[in-house]
Chains A and B, each alone.
Chain A
Amino acid sequence: MTNHWIDIKNADSILIIGSNAAEHHPISFKWVLRAKDAGATVMHVDPKFSRTSARSDFHVPIRSGTDIAFMGGMINYVLQNNKYFKDYVVDYTNAPYIVSDGFEFKDGLFSGYDPKNRTYDQSSWKFDLDSDGIPKKDTSLKHPRCVFNLLKNHFSRYSMDNVSSVTGVSKDNLKKVYEDFSSTGTGTRAGTIMYALGWTQHTVGVQNIRSAAILQLLLGNIGVAGGGINALRGEPNVQGSTDHTLLYHIIPGYMAMPKADWQTYDEYNKANTPVSNDTQSANWWRHKPKYFTSLLKGWFGENATAKNGYCYELLPKIEKGADHSYMFLFDRMYKNEITGGFIIGLNPMNSVPNSNKVRKALDNLDWLVTQELHHSETTDNWQRPGVDPKKIKTEVFLLPSAHRVEKEGTVTNSGRWIGWHDKAVEPEAEARSFGAAFVPLMNKVQALYKKEGGKLPEAITLQNWPKTYDAEYWTRLINGQFTKDTVVKGKKYKKGQQVPSFTALGDDGSTMSLNWLYAGSYTEEDGNKAKRRNPKQTDMQANIGLYPNWAWCWPVNRRILYNRASVNADGMPLNPKKAVIKWDGKKWIGDVPDGGWKPMSSGEGKHPFIMSKHGHGQIFGPGRKDGPIPEHYEPVETPIDSHPFSKQLSSPVYKRIDSEMDKLAKPADPKYPIVLTTYSLTEHWCGGGETRNVPNLLEAEPQLYVEMSPELAKEKGIKNGDGVIVESIRGKVEAIAMVTVRMRPLKVEGKIVHLIGMPFCFGWTTPGTGDSTNRLTPSVGDPNTTIPEYKASCVNIRKADKLTEIVR
């Protein structure tokens, strides 16, 4: 979230799209309803009428996978009807930048496309620079090659007719949403966008979110109270685990994973540290070598020295173009390229697409270590229905895991607040937390490498591991410590003391920090700030619900990111009624500002978007692999074979996997005419591995269902409560029909398209409840993140003669 949960109450217009907020983030609705009480409009755009829709002012049914068309239509509406906030657009975004002549967009493709490798050469997606290397601008927004006009031209195709025809949303509904949300482009009203996996889990997932970024920048909704782009991140510590790198492509603190192109410490820093000659651009990532060096010091301790490049060369490096995300990992396993491994804290045999294939892939392992609370479809894959356990060669170790309430530590919430939770009870029997299992394991691995050697043993033996696990110890290290006596702003710190902030981190080996974003969370002065529970606030802070002394928030306790975009050049709030920060003549008051520089009119200020190289919000975003501006592409499996925006049906660069089990239905395949979307539900947690073992939750949601419209049910001769078979080109799944008026047939490109929806939380280890919905979904993903397209694929449905997976 750019903002935080409480801040939702400050919104005047709330667009919930790509999220079922009330069901998946119940607490969000505490604040949504507060906003509604104060007069805000709440709109829910989603294929299904859900509990979120029930509490919104209105629901807008949309065909899954057409969000860019919907959002593009809104961007077009804002531009054509002058609804954008002009001063903000000119001063704070890259709309005035001149894009170089080599960039073009033609019939669905951006310049630089290589059809053979299905990738873009992004070198033409750039700006004209002046002699200092600063982008040329036309602040009158008249230059035909300025970002603003390219954007206007690009989205001019997104007319009400085209958008309505592709999305299945009526023109009346489009207008209703567009009018209300664009009313926030005034500086004195605020609109927020709440999204979640309904936006990310598409082959255009990143571009869905880019469309929100562009819209919010045009309306001046970033940095303000009640605004922002708010990714709703859930209970499984999604925010914290992303910050600390759950995913393979980054290392802690959102820095790039080392690649084969960058063999040395210097090469890594050179390739990853942006340079700006603009004195008004903070270009915050110029500090990256300090954060990176401190991370290496954290990993390798005393062994990391300037002379050996802080042990950078010992890190594994990814080959160019290699993808190590789940889909590709399991594909390599399927192709016998992986012999063993650890799977802890997830249930991929239920939650990775094309389950029939990944279940088979796991059989190829010689050994597998799992650590769980309960038996899951993954721990017990070797004895799943339909296989002979005697023929599975894998030796499986199942270690007992401690439950959340049996351990202490931090969880980072969606608003980037780090909160401490205590241990309520001791773990049962031999169960251990992940840390308490992993730290001793690493000690043993280190001892073995020391004794027996091996390929590059130093990569393991030089790592800095304590003997035992202690959550608070790691919280201290995540903040960071001085590795030698140092003076910061006149204050002396001894070796081993906590760094006060990331501004104290150095690139000379004088500090260590396991995550620069968290520096300042655990200091000598204030201790462990994740434990703070003080509601103290100023009147200005109270006015917008800021609690700066409650927990701690990254970065530097700033609760609303890019908040200097909420003030004018004199530092005065654009919306005085909901001021976030304000220059009082000497200092900033309110929230922690994005850098303490004086206001822009002083001549000593910095542009507010400090994380981008040139300091402006990126309407034109050249860093993504599928284009600098979003474009509508159909999901890979689609019920139509053409659309009005271009001849490019699906993303030209989406990730796909080739194997005999990775079949895809062809566009508009009459055998699979129905759009399937999959989702979580309130009562079960993710793949259900934990909550299916909680009887009271299973009582409330006991078995796999498929939500479908009465119209489709009639067409297929299915009655409410009937057992049905849902079938894709990859597999079939049994479910119980939930025939509901909450699913509406949509008119798309002149024909009726039916949508159905299914949860994915049921599995065979809870007998009679159903089995993995992901046996239906395809192994295709977003080109930037490889997140699978769980939200839109094509299937068919029929009444079942008998059920074997679900007990009646």
Chain B
Amino acid sequence: MSKAFLIDTTRCTACRGCQLACKEWYELPANKTKQVGTHQNPPDLNANNYKLVRFSEHLDGETITWNFFPDQCRHCVEPPCQGAADTVEEGAIIKDEATGAVIFTDKMKQFSEEDLEYVRDSCPYDIPRWDAKTKRPGKCMMCIDRLQAGKLPACVQACPTGTMNFGDRDEMLALAEKRLAEVKKDHPNAMLADPDDVSVIYLLAEAPERYHTHVVAEAPTPTSRRQLFASLRPSLTSVSKS
């Protein structure tokens, strides 16, 4: 049985325990950031932040809404990035069978800037990033080392409110449906973001665009993308290597 996260944004207080725990576990260096008029910092995902809490505020009449979105790799059921990377080098991105974790391997060290750009473009959630100098790619790896040692992912371990949940996929899907039914009482537009296609399922209280631009995948769906990549592979390979 593969694993899944349920990220229940209706419980998130944006304490950023997850964002920091991730950095601590992977011993990622701090970016030099500046205050530019928002609490969202660093401003975007990067090679040193596999996880980022995004802040989005709205004023509707007199009602203020402040949405928090702990963004990370979705570990797609059919990962388009894998298909894209395969066009550069077979097996550069792998999917761990036991957990469903999508892992960037050392083979990606050989990727050119254009190859990396291509992998990023393939992602329906705009996740992959790399270090500008070393080209080291970075994204969530589901703490696969921790999982193999019988531990929870660092972000889940750190969460104080029950926003971050992790377990067997069917358990998480059941929990997601249960929580969705509860949340719908107060938020009739509540929804799960692409639950069938991803291993990181977000529960949202309202429309995805009120959180962030890449909360749900844009058409085509991951499955058809995979087919698309497969069919295009020979020509793309030649393009990326030219």
Interface set of A (CB-CB < 8 Å, partner B): 22-23, 26-27, 29-30, 33, 37, 49, 51-55, 59, 682-683, 695-705, 720-722, 736-742, 744, 806-808
Q: A26-B15, A30-B162, A741-B57 are in contact. Are A704 and B35 (CB under 8 A)?
A: yes
A702 touches B35 (CB 8 A): yes
Report the separation of the CA atoms of residues A720 and B36 in the bound assembly, to the nearest whole angstrom: 7
Q: What's the least CB distance linking A298 to chain B, in Å? A: 38
Q: Whose C-beta in chain A lies nearest to the C-beta of B60?
A: A741
- Give the contacts of B34-69 with A (CB-CB under 8 A): 34-39, 41-42, 57-59, 62, 64-68
Contacts A30-B160, A702-B33, A741-B57 known; A697 to B41 CB distance under 8 Å? no
> Nearest chain A CB to B141's CB is how many angstroms away?
19
B221 at the interface (CB under 8 A from A): no
A738 touches B14 (CB 8 A): no
A721 to B35, CA, bound (A): 7
Q: Chain A nearest CB: distance from B23 CB in Å?
A: 5
The verdict on A742 contacting B37 (CB below 8 Å), with A695-B30, A696-B20 known, is: no
Expressed in whole angstroms, the Cα–Cα distance for A742 and B160 within the complex equals 24
B24 interface residue (CB < 8 Å to A): yes
The answer on a CB contact under 8 Å between B161 and A701 is no
**Chain A's nearest CB lies how many Å from the CB of B40?**
9
B82 interface hit (Cβ, 8 Å): no
**CB distance A54 to B68 under 8 Å?**
yes
List the 8 closest A-B pairs by CB distance, nearest first: A695-B30, A721-B37, A720-B37, A703-B35, A741-B59, A22-B13, A699-B30, A54-B66
Seen from chain B, the residues whose Cβ lies within 8 Å of a Cβ on chain A are: 11-17, 19-20, 23-24, 29-39, 41-42, 57-59, 62, 64-68, 160-162, 182
The answer to whether B14 and A700 have CB atoms under 8 Å apart is no
A23 to B15, Cβ gap below 8 A?
A: yes
Contacts of A702 in B (CB 8 A): 32-35, 41
Is A683's CB under 8 angstroms from B161's CB?
no
A59 touches B30 (CB 8 A): no
- State the Cβ distance, B146 to closest chain A Cβ, in Å: 19
How far, in whole Å, are A24 and B64 apart by their CA atoms in the complex?
A: 21
B30 lies within 8 A of A696 (CB) = yes
Q: Which residues of B contact A722 (CB under 8 A)?
A: 37
A66 to B94 CA separation, bound complex (whole angstroms): 59
User: Across the interface, which residues of B come within 8 angstroms of A701, CB to CB?
Assistant: 35, 39, 41
Closest A residue to B13 by beta carbon equals: A22
Known: A701-B41, A742-B57. A54 touches B14 (CB 8 A): yes
Contacts beyond the supplied A26-B161, A54-B13: 19 A-B pairs with Cβ under 8 Å: A22-B15, A23-B15, A26-B15, A27-B160, A29-B13, A30-B162, A53-B66, A54-B67, A682-B15, A702-B41, A703-B35, A721-B35, A721-B36, A737-B37, A738-B39, A739-B37, A741-B59, A742-B57, A807-B34
Q: Classify the interface of chain A: helix, strand, loop or mixed.
A: mixed
What residue in chain A is nearest B65 (Cβ atoms)? A54
Q: Chain B residues with Cβ under 8 A from A738's Cβ?
A: 35, 37-39
**Residues on B with beta carbons closer than 8 Å to the beta carbon of A699:** 30-33, 41-42
The smallest C-beta distance from B50 to any residue of chain A, in angstroms, reads 13
Cα distance A741–B13 in the bound complex, in angstroms: 18
Contact A736 B161 (CB under 8 A): no
B239 → A minimal CB distance (Å): 37
Please state if B30 and A51 are interface contacts (CB–CB under 8 Å): no
Residues of B within 8 A of A698 (CB): 30, 33
B10 to chain A: closest residue by CB? A55
Structural contact, A808 and B13, CB atoms closer than 8 A = no
User: Would you mind naming 20 contact pairs between A and B with Cβ atoms under 8 Å apart?
Assistant: A23-B15, A26-B15, A26-B160, A26-B161, A29-B13, A51-B66, A53-B66, A695-B29, A696-B23, A699-B42, A700-B16, A700-B20, A701-B35, A703-B34, A705-B35, A721-B36, A721-B37, A738-B37, A740-B57, A806-B35
Considering only CB atoms, which chain B residue lies closest to A735 in the complex? B35
Within the assembled complex, what's the spacing in Å between the Cα atoms of A631 and B64?
A: 31
Chain A residue at minimum C-beta to C-beta distance from B163: A33
Q: How far does the alpha carbon of A27 sit from the alpha carbon of B58 in the complex, in Å?
A: 26
**CB neighbours of B64 from chain A (8 A):** 49, 53, 59, 741-742, 744
User: Which chain A residues border B160 with CB–CB below 8 Å?
Assistant: 26-27, 29-30
Give A29 to B29 CA distance when docked, in angstroms. Answer: 29
Complex Cα distance, B19 from A807, in Å, reads: 25
Contact call A683/B31, Cβ cutoff below 8 A? no
Set A22, A55, A696, A736: member contacting B37, Cβ < 8 A: A736
A741 to B24, CA, bound (A): 33
Q: Closest chain A residue to B64 by CB distance?
A: A49
Chain B residue numbers with a CB within 8 Å of A54 are: 13-14, 65-68
Residue contact B66 to A683, C-beta cutoff 8 Å: no
Taking the closest CB of chain B, its distance from the CB of A302, in whole angstroms, is 49
A253 and B34 CA atoms in complex are apart in Å by 45
Bound Cα distance from A741 to B58, whole angstroms: 7
Q: Is the CB of A736 within 8 A of B36?
A: yes
C-alpha gap A762/B160 in the complex (Å): 26
Q: Are the CB atoms of B66 and A49 closer together than 8 Å?
A: yes
| CA distance in complex: A762, B33 (Å) | 15
B11: chain A residues within 8 A (beta carbon): 33, 55
A73–B19 CA distance with the chains assembled, in angstroms: 42
| Cβ contacts under 8 Å, B62 to chain A | 744
Which residue of B20, B35, B182 contacts A736 across the interface (Cβ within 8 Å)?
B35
Closest chain A residue, CB of each to CB of B24: A696
Please name all residues of chain B whose beta carbon is closer than 8 Å to the beta carbon of A33 when the two chains form the complex. 11, 161-162
Q: For B36, give the chain A residue with the smallest CB separation.
A: A721
CB distance from A647 to the nearest CB of B (A): 34
Q: How far is the CB of B24 from chain A (nearest CB, A)?
A: 7
Bound-state Cα–Cα, A381 to B41, Å: 30
What chain A residues lie within 8 Å of B66 (beta carbons)?
Answer: 49, 51, 53-54, 742
A54 to B32, CA, bound (A): 28
Q: Which residue of B lies closest to A701 (CB)?
A: B41
Tell me, in angstroms, the Cα distance from A699 to B19 when the chains sit together.
11
Closest to A694 in B: B30
Asked whether, in the complex, the Cβ of B14 is within 8 Å of the Cβ of A51, the reply is: yes
Nearest B residue to A737 via CB reads B37
Residues of the A chain whose Cβ atoms lie less than 8 Å from the Cβ of B57: 740-742
Q: Which residue of A lies closest to B28 (CB)?
A: A696
Provide the bound-state CA to CA distance between A27 and B158, in Å.
Answer: 11
Q: Do B29 and A51 have beta carbons less than 8 Å apart?
A: no
Give complex CA distance A740, B38 in Å.
9
